Amino acid sequence: MLKQTCILALLMMTAPAFAAGDPEWSRKEEVAIARSAGPDGLSKDATVWVMGKKGYEVAVKGTNGFNCLVLLRWGAAFDSQSDAFETPGSVIAPICYDAKASASGPMQEQLMRAELGLQGKSYDEVRDAVMSAYASGEIDEVDGVAFAYMYSAAQRLGPNVGAWHPHVMVYAPGYTNDMLGGGGIASGDPVVAEAPGTARAIIAIPVDGREGHIAPIAHGSSLH
């Protein structure tokens, strides 16, 4: 209960930043929220990124190959969440990428999305730029399977999803939902959450029974 209260306090105390309604944290708080995406033993040694004026920038250099950051509305699914993309504050998605996902499309795409979003590009412009970057090789397709943790109790995954299950994201090129048994996102079963059948296919695997968590915030920390 105390963890949940701390999370809600952080989220409710945000101030207007990139647009009215978008969250803005102190660097210390954003680092803690980003780290809350992964198991403590992993995220404490990960590289952590925070949002700067022009895009993500490294706040803490890690040692284990994982990279943690907080995705905002520009990270919403192209397939089904255009409304979330255009709605400030609609997405707060802490995520920790493994080394393979960090060095290829999953993380490269999100860095590009944020940079373009901060430039004021529209949903269509960002989507088209990302797809063009994959086609040209500017963004690298995943070589095999990669994954990321999304365990944070701070997550909000859009107005029609909210705080979904703590879950693992598996980047599995070519996978479709039928290959997983055909369950829907409301079922709590593994589901292809975006781009089925393509090089960008993402499988979300709920980890029920795991309490979402957030790293402790130092006493006296403040928000912008």
Is the per-residue pLDDT at 62 higher than 90? Answer: yes
Distance, CA of 61 to chain centre: 19
Rounded Cα distance, 1 and 154, in Å: 13
Q: What is the pLDDT of residues 117-169, one digit of tens each?
A: 999 999 999 999 999 999 999 999 998 889 999 999 888 887 777 777 889 99
Phi/psi of residue 166, nearest 5 degrees: -55, 135
Query: pTM higher than 0.75 for the full model?
Result: yes
**Percent of the chain surpassing pLDDT 90:** 52
The pLDDT score that the predictor gives to residue 224 is: 30
Under the banding of pLDDT at 50, 70 and 90, the label for residue 51 is very high
The pLDDT score that the predictor gives to residue 1 is: 45
Question: Among 12-16, 134-138, 205-209, where is mean pLDDT lowest?
Answer: 12-16
Instruction: Give the up-direction half-sphere exposure of residue 63: CA atoms within 13 A in the CB hemisphere.
Output: 3
Under the banding of pLDDT at 50, 70 and 90, the label for residue 189 is confident
The pLDDT score that the predictor gives to residue 182 is: 81
The pLDDT score that the predictor gives to residue 223 is: 30
The pLDDT score that the predictor gives to residue 18 is: 59
- E strands, the chain, where? 47-51, 56-60, 67-71, 91-97, 146-150, 156-157, 167-171, 191-194, 202-206
